[in-house]
Amino acid sequence: MSDKSNKYGYVGVDIPAQSFGSNKGVFNPAEINDLVANNQWTTFGQLELIETKTASASSAVNFVDIKENIYNVHFLTYSLIPSADDTGVIRFSNNNGTSWIASSYQYTQQFGNSAGAFSNLDATSINFLARLGNSTGTGTNELTAGYYYFYNLGDSTKKNFATMHTTGTDTSSNYQMTFGSAVYSVAEIVNGISLFCYSGNTLTGTASLYGIRYS
């Protein structure tokens, strides 16, 4: 698209179309702001921090402004310790955290620990998306940590998928890990993410949510 209006340093000539990776001209601050707003300005750093939450004996860590209209892929990191032996899990919201969805999830996670136990953790109908770890203990440094990728949260035509890899210490002080996949099987917009203890204990620690622009 081109026009002959006076902008980007051009006067009275066809103005080149602008896009990420292909900006041509001399730009003033207002023009740059407009191009940034329209995803047409070339700037690197597509892993963009949305929000970091710090929890202190919190009943949940909730993200309710996840900018799902901007990002197709979200990246979550966390490092949390429960107030008592418990398993951390995730739920979604479709109403910005007014309520949390407790149906239509499936997950599949490979579990393993330093004591030699390996098993499959999975469900075809469950009331949470997936686990942040598995039965995390409360001793010194016995936290659960890991990352999740979320796909399609802002697309009302697609199911909402997740992949994860977690690490931590279980209630017997065994070092443990899980990796796997999960889905919220309803094609609708998800606009909230909640991390909490399944049996009602509190969480202390941090969690950060990022968006991957242009994903």
Partner 1 sequence: MATNLEFIKSASGTNVSSLTVTDCFSDKYDVYDITFDFAGNSVTGYIEFRLLDSTGTEISSAEYDVAGLMMRSYNTYIENRSVNTTGYTIGYNQDFGLGGKLTIFNPYDSSSYTFLLNQNAGGTTSAGQLIGWKGIMTHKVAETISGIKFFVSGGGSYDFNYIEASVFGVK
Q: Using only C-alpha atoms, what is the Rg of the chain?
A: 21
Residue with Cβ nearer partner 1 (27 or 179): 179
Residue 150, both tokens: 């979320």
Distance (Å, whole) CA 61 – CA 123: 24
The residue count for the chain: 215
| Percentages (nearest 5) of helix, strand, coil residues in the chain | 5, 45, 50
Name the segment binding partner 1 (CB under 8 A); options: 1-9, 29-37, 40-48, 193-201.
40-48
Residue with Cβ nearer partner 1 (106 or 173): 106
For residue 135, give every residue at least 6 positions away whose Cβ sits within 8 Å of its Cβ, in sequence order, or none.
85, 86, 87, 170, 171
Distance (Å, whole) CA 5 – CA 84: 65
Interface residue with partner 1, options 7, 53, 67, 158 (CB under 8 A): 158
Least gap, CB of 34 to partner 1 (angstroms)? 19
Interface residue with partner 1, options 79, 106, 171, 173 (CB under 8 A): 106
Q: Does 19 bind partner 1 (CB under 8 A)?
A: no
Distance (Å, whole) CA 185 – CA 59: 26
Interface residue with partner 1, options 41, 179, 189, 198 (CB under 8 A): 179
Interface residue with partner 1, options 123, 127, 174, 204 (CB under 8 A): 123
Positions in the binding site for partner 1 (CB under 8 A)? 20-21, 44-47, 72-73, 106-110, 120, 122-124, 149, 151-152, 158-159, 161-163, 165, 179-183, 185, 212-215
